[in-house]
Amino acid sequence: MGTKVCKFGGTSLADGKQLRKVQAIVQNDGDRRYVVPSAPGKRGPDDRKITDLLYLCHDHAKQNIPFDQVFNLVADRYRQILVELDMWFDIAPHLEKIKDEIADGASRDYAASRGEYLCGLILAELLGYTFIDAADVIRFDTRGQFDTTATGQALGPTLLKTEPVVIPGFYGGLPDGSVKTFPRGGSDITGAVIARAIGADVYENWTDVNGLLMADPCVVDNPKTIETITYRELRELAYMGATVLHDEAVFPVRDTGIPVNIRNTNQPNHPGTMIISSRTKPITHGGTITGIAGRKDFTVIAVEKALMNKELGFGRRLLNVLEVHGVSFEHMPSGIDTMSVVVADAQLKGKLDTILEDIRHECHPDVLEANPHMAVIATVGRGMAHIPGMAAKLFTALADAGVNIRMIDQGSSEINIIVGVETADFEAAVRAIYRAFVE
DSSP 382: T
Alpha-carbon separation of residue 116 from 36, 40, 145, 184 (angstroms):
9, 8, 20, 12
Alpha-carbon separation of residue 11 from 47, 310, 408 (angstroms):
11, 57, 39
Q: Please tell me whether residue 146 adopts helix, strand or coil conformation.
A: strand
**Rounded Cα gap, residues 334 and 340, in angstroms:** 6
What pTM was estimated for this model as a whole? 0.82
CA atoms within 13 A of residue 401's CA, in its CB half-sphere: 23
Q: Quick one: pLDDT at residue 433?
A: 93
Q: Please tell me whether residue 297 adopts helix, strand or coil conformation.
A: strand
Q: Using omega within 30 degrees of 0 as the cis cutoff, is the peptide bond preceding 164 cis? A: yes
Full set of structural domains in the chain with CATH: 4-276 (3.40.1160.10), 291-437 (3.30.2130.10)
**Rounded Cα gap, residues 6 and 17, in angstroms:** 18
**Rounded Cα gap, residues 292 and 218, in angstroms:** 13
Q: Quick one: pLDDT at residue 106?
A: 95
Q: Quick one: pLDDT at residue 283?
A: 41
Collect the ranges in the chain with pLDDT lower than 70: 1, 239-247, 278-287, 383-386, 411-414
Number of neighbours of residue 105 by Cβ within 10 angstroms: 10
Number of neighbours of residue 64 by Cβ within 10 angstroms: 7
Q: What is the dihedral angle through the alpha carbons of 206, 212, 216, 221, rounded to the nearest 10 degrees?
A: -90
Q: Quick one: pLDDT at residue 218?
A: 87
Alpha-carbon separation of residue 104 from 107, 116, 239 (angstroms):
10, 21, 40
Burial class, 1, CB count within 10 angstroms (exposed 0-12 / middle 13-18 / buried 19+):
exposed
Question: What proportions of the chain, in percent to the nearest 5, are helix, strand and coil?
Answer: 40, 20, 35
140 forms beta bridges with: 146
Q: Quick one: pLDDT at residue 161?
A: 81
**Rounded Cα gap, residues 38 and 116, in angstroms:** 5
Q: Quick one: pLDDT at residue 247?
A: 61
Q: Quick one: pLDDT at residue 243?
A: 66
**Rounded Cα gap, residues 386 and 430, in angstroms:** 22
